[in-house]
A and B are shown apart, each in its own frame.
Chain A
């Protein structure tokens, strides 16, 4: 109950900052778009006509392709804009926790420091999980009910989006512990988020490097940092029911997340307030 009280308080904080409501409003709007604007006429399991805002699609497309296309697009939207907004919305939660006068009230409760940090962290992830799955489930249900086809891969893609957020949030938590600044940790996290596609092109970068040691360094960075570009690909592949060729980006990124959270915990344990 003590632990869950901190999670509940984190939810309340998100409500108070209106970020939760903003998230849900956008998701609801997208859901309404699928309900009213996308019109699918299915005849005997095959699509006969598709229209968006009353405008008919020029060619006949397979229903399965429509579902995978729409749900794939939503997963890409959530992976990029969703994670971007989620990081922004939750960036102040850890620095707020560390504020003198606020953290004192928590530390003096019968909870260990690691429990306090974990509850706050889980609270932030739970907010994002709730919002991401609100849109995913809404889209999934509308599309599945309209077409009669249930794409389970889309739900799995939601899990990858939340895991990617969790990994990046653990980095942001670590940076907040070090600096106490929400904007600073947010900027560096965004940098890492957008640095990943560059590192993915490391074969091309090698050609520009003067020493092989620089190459090792780039390789080291690639394997150490979260591989957001590849996690984005995995998300899309799952949403489109394409077989995922390698899970390496997921587990190496997860290891990075675990390391960042463990370091954050260590700093929080030792910190004086």
Chain B
């Protein structure tokens, strides 16, 4: 089931002089972590804001959880972490979750249970009564995540969730998002940190200048067909010589050999040959691109077009 569907979604500013988003059509399946990538000004935040009705689309249609985005009632099942959220500074974390939880339609009795639990989850439980003006940037971000989860949403929109958070905190957030995904929640993510996106996303979409350049499953984009990376301890004959004998091209980076085979039969033939010459195979893994490489490649291609 699709939880987000957009059809030719378009947003122009200044009577069409600024094209923030152009004819964007995409679908997001339930229970996935879907990430939006793109350089600054690509239209990522605009898309999230249109889906949440913070910005109105110039053209096109969109549905969330099978209902029009114009219906505010759908927000009851949505959590949102804004990029530059601004909570009232005179409130404490507990008060913020209380007020905004009430606005989200959570019952008072539920809030009493949920607030300490959520603050513990984002490691702010010892700060529950401290005014947020005393919080660091990372703490504010964790506060924002707790706020996004207060109504136990089915769909989470997170705009730069790990912004300002240290590496340990980032890992904790990543684990939390994966846990939420495993519970069947859908996470729509916008992040500049490609390594983070690569580690947790199921699907991605790449935007540039408001246009969709690519969309699809992460593993489809990053795996390179018929290329493998080997780590070996050479036996009687070196790996280079074995590859040369059976005509397999290779490159070496440090102690990693990257080979390009015609098919799996040729890969197995190579393994047999290596065994014959008593080579110890430490690992064989399919070669993958990094998300950064793929991202740069896609942007370069779009420049050339």
**What residues make up the interface of A, taking CB atoms closer than 8 Å to B?**
1-2, 4-6, 8-9, 12-13, 15-16, 99-113, 270, 272-273
Contacts and interface: CB of A to CB of B under 8 A. Distances in A.
21 contacts: A2-B102, A6-B103, A8-B99, A16-B90, A99-B86, A102-B86, A103-B54, A104-B54, A104-B85, A105-B80, A105-B82, A105-B87, A107-B54, A108-B54, A109-B72, A109-B103, A109-B105, A110-B74, A110-B104, A272-B54, A273-B54
B52 interface: yes
B76 interface: yes
Q: Which 8 pairs show the lowest CB-CB distances between chains A and B?
A: A101-B86, A16-B90, A5-B102, A110-B76, A109-B103, A110-B75, A272-B55, A108-B80
B215 to A, nearest CB: 24
A2 B147 CA distance: 15
B187 to A, nearest CB: 15
B284 interface: no
A37 B147 CA distance: 52
A16 B88 contact: yes
Nearest to A17: B90
Contact of A12 (B73, B75, B88, B102): B88
A250 to B, nearest CB: 35
B146 interface: no
A105 B52 CA distance: 10
A100 B86 CA distance: 8
Contacts of A9: 88, 99
Interface residues of B, number: 30
A105 B91 CA distance: 15
Contacts of B108: 1
Contacts of A113: 72
B56 interface: yes
Interface in B48-77: 49, 52-56, 72-76
A110 B73 CA distance: 5
A174 to B, nearest CB: 20
Interface string B90-101: 110001000110
Interface of B: 49, 52-56, 72-76, 78, 80, 82, 84-88, 90-91, 95, 99-100, 102-105, 108, 147
Contacts of A273: 49, 54-55
A102 to B, nearest CB: 4
Given A1-B102, A2-B103, A108-B80, 20 more contacts: A8-B99, A12-B88, A13-B90, A16-B90, A100-B84, A101-B84, A102-B87, A103-B54, A104-B82, A105-B82, A105-B85, A108-B75, A108-B78, A109-B105, A110-B72, A111-B72, A112-B72, A113-B72, A272-B54, A272-B55
Contacts of A105: 80, 82, 85-87, 100, 147
Nearest to A115: B72
Given A9-B88, A101-B86, A105-B82, A111 B54 contact: no
Contacts of B72: 109-113
B103 A5 contact: yes
A158 B87 CA distance: 35
A169 to B, nearest CB: 21
Contacts of A6: 103
Contacts of A4: 102
A2 B105 contact: yes
A232 to B, nearest CB: 35
Nearest to B104: A109
A160 B68 CA distance: 43
A6 B103 CA distance: 7
B107 to A, nearest CB: 8
Contacts of B49: 104, 272-273
A112 to B, nearest CB: 5
A243 B106 CA distance: 50
